[in-house]
Amino acid sequence: MFDNTPVLGRSESAELATNKVLRNTYALLGLTMIPTVLGAFIGLNVNFSIAQQHPFIFAIGAMAVMFGMFSAISANRNSSVGVVLLLGLTFLLGLLLGPILQHALHLSNGAQIVGLAAGGTGVILFTLASVATTTKKDFSFMGKFLLVGIILLIVASLANIFLQIPAMTLALSAIGVILFSGFILFDVSRIVNGGETNYVMATLSLYMSIYNLFTSLLQLLMGLMGGDD
């Protein structure tokens, strides 16, 4: 007879490691909300006229800074420096919420729209994270589709900066909601199935999915429900 104890030991050890990564990811994700909210509060009082005057240059510059910070976080993912850089990134991204929040809150029902976007993001996150965690189904097959989708969405969004087509903005926002919801399912599934073993990188991926889901949902709701300024 064969002794299966070592195999079971490895399996249990892997599951414990996965659960630890998941717990640390959720804990760090919760912590990132503090600098995000602080940055957003400051952003509400910042003059973003340069973004309005040169939206394309501002968008490219912001993307360059973010990708630079992504690389720095990845390079330091196994140290506390990575955590500090991640929190710095979330503060910056909170600050960059300034223009869209300013626009939303100048609408007659702006506070309601922002609340609905935040609540909707929370519901989607909880639902999809629960699906990925409880079913433990491997959603890695979505990776290529999501990658192609995000590239096309970025290109179309940059093009619409020049085109300024309201219907296209609405359509891109709706696509963004679907796409980033898919990313949440993909991100949590990777953690649950051992595809991501570093909680800093797991938090970064999940945070970006949530952040972009919120902004997409906010833009969609502003297009559908926006009242007079």
Tens of pLDDT, residue by residue over 64-75, are 999 999 999 999
Residue indicated by tokens 């993307």:
63
Distances (CA, A) of 211 to 1, 180, 187, 214: 53, 9, 13, 5
Q: How many CA atoms lie within 13 A of 138 on its CB side?
A: 6
Whats the size of the chain, residue-wise?
229
Nearest to 100 by CA among 113, 91, 85, 90: 113
Q: Report CA torsion sign: 202, 203, 209, 210.
A: positive
Q: What percent of the chain has pLDDT over 90?
A: 72
Nearest to 174 by CA among 120, 94, 131: 120
Structure tokens, 29? 């994700």
What are the helix (H) ranges across 96-165? Answer: 98-105, 110-135, 143-163
Structure tokens, 187? 């991100």
How many other β-carbons are positioned within 10 Å of the β-carbon of residue 113?
A: 23
d(CA 127, CA 134): 11
Tell me the pLDDT band of 229, cut-offs 50, 70 and 90: low
Domain boundaries, the chain: 5-225
Tell me the pLDDT band of 8, cut-offs 50, 70 and 90: very low
d(CA 48, CA 99): 7
Q: What percent of the chain has pLDDT over 70?
A: 94
Predicted confidence (pLDDT) per residue in 77-86, tens digit: 999 999 999 9
